[in-house]
Structure 1
Amino acid sequence: MEPVASTALISNDIVVLGLIAATLGAVFWTASLQHGFFRKFYSFVPALLLCYLIPGLYNTFGLIDGEASKLYNPVASRVLLPAALVLLTLSIDLKAILRLGPKLVLMYAAASLSVMAGAVLAFLLFRAVHPETVAGDTWAGMTTLAGSWIGGGANMLAMKEIFQVDATTFGQFAVVDVGVGYVWMAVLIFLAARAQAIDARSGADTRAIEELKLKLEAFRAEHGRIASLTDLMMIIGLAFGAVGLSHFVAAPVSAWFGAHVSWAKTVSLHEPFVWMVMLSTLIGLGLSFTRARTLEGAGASNIGQLLLYFLIATIGMQMDIFALLDRPWLFLLGIVWISIHIVLLWLMGRLLRVPFFYFAIGSQSNIGGPASAPVVASAFHPALAPVGALLGTLGYATGTGLSYLLGLILRALATG
């Protein structure tokens, strides 16, 4: 990578890469400390948020120039993102998800659909009562947040690229994601301790929960191991091999759609990046039906998360931190949005007469994803943590498609 023309103090991308890597290392090291100041600090400030904000501070105060850097595009967005999608979908066990029972799967699906419905209703409400909140590219920012609230960080970043969301708008919704999403997670953890009383009042049958316990731990116990060099080479080979294949196929396919399909531009099918994201996700999902899924025991999803955090930091490099506070109404938009999701999912739970655990994990596996869904699940019982992880990883497969569809709807509402 050649040095970039910039007035920033650091203009060499190799040096910037080193700075970002050191910053991420410092964040995760301090977050791992179990005593003193940092333990209290990270109980209020998620490490994920710092991975956005600290690179944003570097950019805001002129230490680096995120817009002039090539670390985000093409390195992170075109290489690391699809590789992360492959590795994060690699461990999905669709058969095991179906074995969890129809009611739990229905609650998960209802959670995804209620997030979509909440976005549309919140957009229409604010357009009627406070149009400034949803003016401009707010619809695009909402699409990235939907990517996170239906899937996870990788889906959020995919939506940013597909709909070409401004870095500051993306950063504003990333803050809303953390602020609103983590408060809801705290509420669910608080209510988990009262789940027995809630279920007693609702008359829910909780026998199915007992059957869920320990069902998914067998796979991790069987395949968990210290990664060998061969394991790591296989993980990297599959991930970046899939990236190369996705790029190889995406270019001619998108060109053909752009030239021969009249409506392709309406849904962005003429863009190679859209095809690259879809192909990477499908390749990872396809690999999950093969023995390649056993690489999860060697840490495939951890490597996927590592790539994802580098991508998150390179997005933070492009943000103007002071601009994050320019639109406080976005927090109210997020609160209304998630409130609609909660009400609709609660109504579905009442209709199906499911235990409160189904409601909580259905919501958190969407809103929080695989990182926090196991936390909420373990608040009910430590053995249920794998259930949260399993449903959370499913969002990586469904989040891109559903949030992309929602983005098309919101764009039509904003421009219609």
Structure 2
Amino acid sequence: MITTAFGYIAALFAIAAILHLLETRSKMAMFKYLPAIVLLYFVVMVCATLNLWQQGPTIDATYKALRNNLLPAMIFLMLLDADLRQIKKLGMKMIVTFLLAAISIGLAFIVTFALFHQGLADDAWKTFAALCGSWMGGTGNMAAVQLALNVPDASMGYTLLIDSIDYALWVMLLLALVPYARRFNQWTGADDSLLADIGNRLDQQSEQASAVSAGNLMVLLAAAFVVSAASQSLATMLPTTAYFTHTAWTVAIVTLAGIVAAMTPMRHIGGGQILSTVLLNLVIALIASRANFGELLQAPIYILAGLVILVIHGTFMVLLAKCFKLDLFTCGLASLANIGGVASAPILAASYSRALIPIGVLMAMLGYIVGTAGGLIVGKVLALIAGV
């Protein structure tokens, strides 16, 4: 059993690294449907269940310090790719579809929670708010909402399980539908002839970052850590309520800083995506390390609730496609850019055409901007339903 802080962090990094190597170096088919970042949930949760590390004051303090300080830094680095001027090039149809998909996910969470909340844990509204942040943006948004709402670590086990199982099923479904895109488009009356043109235009206009170097990595890390520290310090000076805490202010400030930085030459410094990926894996591993399969006695109802959310969302997207003559690519990518983020949206885009990968990346970046706010707004509604 691991009892030291350094051993705990070393174990989490080792698990993440092994999964990354298997995903990039092996030819295992499962990684086409289950990215390493999803499997990281399961593996770390299994290790926690088997008591690979000791849950004590030392490791608890390490967990809290790393999560609270690294999460704002990770959000800042992720947002460096979310240049609003580039996202505008997606075209209004795709942006509006993405936003409608996000709204449908939020409504699906509200409806599902209203149906299931009496059979869930007392603080389940926080758990669902965190999951909503993830399914509107990404895992970083989930962690941000968790931090903002002070979601108990043990309760996050339910969220991780829903996010892993139901998300994986949704990814596989959307990928399985790709061969039927033309038939779907004929049914909706969509004109998909512009997709290749849009992909080529974005690909040609995308700006190349400078080469990754030790100096660049140090500059980016320094900027991310300074923003993290400054945002936390500034948050303590701002007024709070029982709902909007100092942590929520921290997340809001660092998000604004990231959006602004993405429109400056800083976004061209090579290495931001690499560093944000490393931090994201560590944050995910940290969260999963606090969960335990032995505490998931109510897991079946949570998994069922997650499936209901996806069914409501999927039905809305099909109706939206029929009413507005949208193609399957636009609807599927808008959905997966919300629910899967950058981990899977580019994969779905590539299954249609590699020229469309930039659209998948840029649309997923929208989620980083709206995910945290969306999760917090839905969380407020869920709290009202729960009578909190």
Q: Given the two structures, how large is their TM-score scaled by the length of structure 1?
A: 0.88
Measured in 2, the distance between the counterparts of 1:170 and 1:138 equals: 9
How many residues are matched? 386
Q: Does 1:334 pair with 2:306?
A: yes
Q: Does 1:47 pair with 2:39?
A: no
Q: 1:71 aligns to what?
A: 62
Measured in 2, the distance between the counterparts of 1:100 and 1:315 equals: 33
Shift of 1:67: 5.4
Measured in 2, the distance between the counterparts of 1:362 and 1:43 equals: 19
Measured in 2, the distance between the counterparts of 1:15 and 1:408 equals: 38
Measured in 2, the distance between the counterparts of 1:209 and 1:384 equals: 8
Q: 1:56 aligns to what?
A: 45
Shift of 1:247: 1.6
Measured in 2, the distance between the counterparts of 1:14 and 1:379 equals: 41
Measured in 2, the distance between the counterparts of 1:58 and 1:104 equals: 41
Match of residue 25, structure 1, among 17, 31, 40: 17
Measured in 1, the distance between the counterparts of 2:164 and 2:51 equals: 26
Shift of 1:179: 1.1
Q: Does 1:403 pair with 2:388?
A: no
Measured in 2, the distance between the counterparts of 1:123 and 1:16 equals: 35
Shift of 1:216: 2.3
Shift of 1:151: 0.7
Shift of 1:40: 4.3
Cα 1:114/1:358, change in 2 over 3 Å: same
Deviations 1:110-134 (A, max 9, x none): 000000000011112224xxx31x3
Counterpart contact for 1:90–1:292, Cα < 8 Å? yes
| Residues 90-169 of structure 1: pairs in structure 2 closer than 5 A | 90-127=80-117, 131-132=118-119, 134-169=120-155
- For structure 1, which segment, 359-368 or 45-54, has the greater mean C-alpha deviation from structure 2 after superposition? 45-54
| Residues 4-403 of structure 1: pairs in structure 2 closer than 5 A | 9-35=1-27, 39-40=28-29, 42=31, 46-66=35-55, 68=57, 69=59, 70-75=61-66, 77-127=67-117, 131-132=118-119, 134-220=120-206, 222-253=207-238, 257-258=239-240, 264-265=241-242, 267-268=243-244, 271-295=245-269, 298-403=270-375
Consecutive unaligned residues in structure 2, runs of 5 or more? none
Measured in 2, the distance between the counterparts of 1:41 and 1:86 equals: 31
Measured in 2, the distance between the counterparts of 1:245 and 1:55 equals: 31
Deviations 1:123-182 (A, max 9, x none): 12224xxx31x3412211111110110010111011111222222321222121121112
Counterpart contact for 2:35–2:343, Cα < 8 Å? no
Q: 3-state DSSP class of the match of 2:367? A: helix
Measured in 2, the distance between the counterparts of 1:348 and 1:245 equals: 43
Counterpart contact for 2:77–2:258, Cα < 8 Å? yes
Measured in 2, the distance between the counterparts of 1:327 and 1:18 equals: 29
Deviations 1:292-329 (A, max 9, x none): 1112xx23122112101111111222122222354211
Q: 3-state DSSP class of the match of 2:8? A: helix
Amino acid at match of 2:81: S
Measured in 2, the distance between the counterparts of 1:204 and 1:198 equals: 9
Measured in 2, the distance between the counterparts of 1:356 and 1:248 equals: 45
Consecutive unaligned residues in structure 1, runs of 5 or more? 1-8, 259-263
Cα 1:368/1:67, change in 2 over 3 Å: farther
Counterpart contact for 2:347–2:357, Cα < 8 Å? yes
Q: 3-state DSSP class of the match of 1:216? A: helix
Measured in 2, the distance between the counterparts of 1:71 and 1:28 equals: 24
Measured in 1, the distance between the counterparts of 2:297 and 2:31 equals: 22
Shift of 1:252: 1.2
Measured in 1, the distance between the counterparts of 2:380 and 2:172 equals: 32
- For structure 1, which segment, 344-353 or 328-337, has the greater mean C-alpha deviation from structure 2 after superposition? 344-353
Counterpart contact for 1:21–1:310, Cα < 8 Å? yes
Measured in 1, the distance between the counterparts of 2:6 and 2:140 equals: 24
Shift of 1:17: 1.7
Measured in 2, the distance between the counterparts of 1:99 and 1:46 equals: 28
How much is the aligned-residue C-alpha RMSD, in angstroms? 1.9
- For structure 1, which segment, 167-176 or 331-340, has the greater mean C-alpha deviation from structure 2 after superposition? 167-176
Counterpart contact for 1:361–1:377, Cα < 8 Å? yes
Counterpart contact for 2:83–2:259, Cα < 8 Å? no
Q: Given the two structures, how large is their TM-score scaled by the length of structure 2?
A: 0.94
Counterpart contact for 2:34–2:168, Cα < 8 Å? no
**Sequence identity of aligned pairs in percent?**
27
